[in-house]
Amino acid sequence: MFLQLFSILALFILPGSLACEGECIVGITDAWIHNITHGPLRSVAFEFHAAVEKLVPSPDKIPGYYGTPLLEDFAKGGLYDKMSDAIFPSFFHGKCADAQGSTPPGCPNPSCSVVCGTPGSLVFHYDKLFSIALGVARTHLQQVVLRPDSPTRKKMETLLLREAGAKRSYIRGRAGSASPSKDLLQRFHGLIDAILKAFTIACQNGSCDWETEMKSYILTFP
């Protein structure tokens, strides 16, 4: 009786190799968000800060001050679902099994050339995984910086306006009206618009070469 039950269970469990689920999905999604946030996004945010700082100096030279809303946006979790969906159900999904229900050679680890939801497949198709992750981040960034109604874009504007207001020399409205000059705002918006372009090329100097550590991290999952 016990053996029968076991073999029935085995029928459901054994075909195909282990897919990335639960902790594996969470861990890998978080790893991409972490590396992108601390790598290309951070350098773009600091570049932006340095450019805005030339328009209106920031208080006490807080490092990266004008770029902080950008980094906070990525860190606070708004990107998680988009990243996880794009990597897993949309591309790397399902257990690896051939038509007979057996595991193809190299699967699940470490070199599963079939596109499926195993760590070995994620590693084998690393370039695809990389481009999915960067693409999601870029699309998110585009919404965050370019949409006029984006709360993060508004926060970036608020920081500038606050500093410009605190330093009255940057306010050049009509007598009595405390609004920053049109020219200042135009230049600021130009710098915001340039963020996306900067992000697109931020990985070109090899600073996003996470292949070795990312692959070994992925293979820590069964």
Ligand X SMILES: *[C@@H]1O[C@H](CO)[C@@H](O)[C@H](O)[C@H]1NC(C)=O
Shortest Cβ 41–ligand X spacing (Å)? 11
Residue type, 147: R
Q: What is residue 96's three-state secondary structure?
A: strand
Q: Does 217 bind ligand X (CB under 6 A)?
A: yes
Q: Rule CB under 6 A: say whether 193 interacts with ligand X.
A: no
Which of 126-158 are b and which e, b meaning 16 or more Cβ less than 10 Å from the residue's Cβ? eeebbebbbebbeebbeebbeeeebebbeebbe
31 touching ligand X, by CB under 6 A: yes
Pick the piece of the chain touching ligand X (CB under 6 A) from 55-63, 138-146, 186-194, 209-217: 209-217
**Is 170 an interacting residue with respect to ligand X (CB under 6 A)?**
no
Query: Cα torsion for 33, 39, 41, 44, to the nearest 10°?
Result: 180
Residue from 21, 186, 207, 222 binding ligand X (CB under 6 A) = 207
Q: Is 57 left (phi over 0), alpha (psi -120 to 50) or beta?
A: beta
Is 197 near ligand X (CB under 6 A)?
no
Name which position in 43, 102, 143, 179 contacts ligand X (CB under 6 A). Answer: 43
State the residue number with the nearest CB to ligand X.
43
Binding to ligand X by residue 214, rule CB under 6 A?
yes
**Overall size of the chain counted in residues:** 222
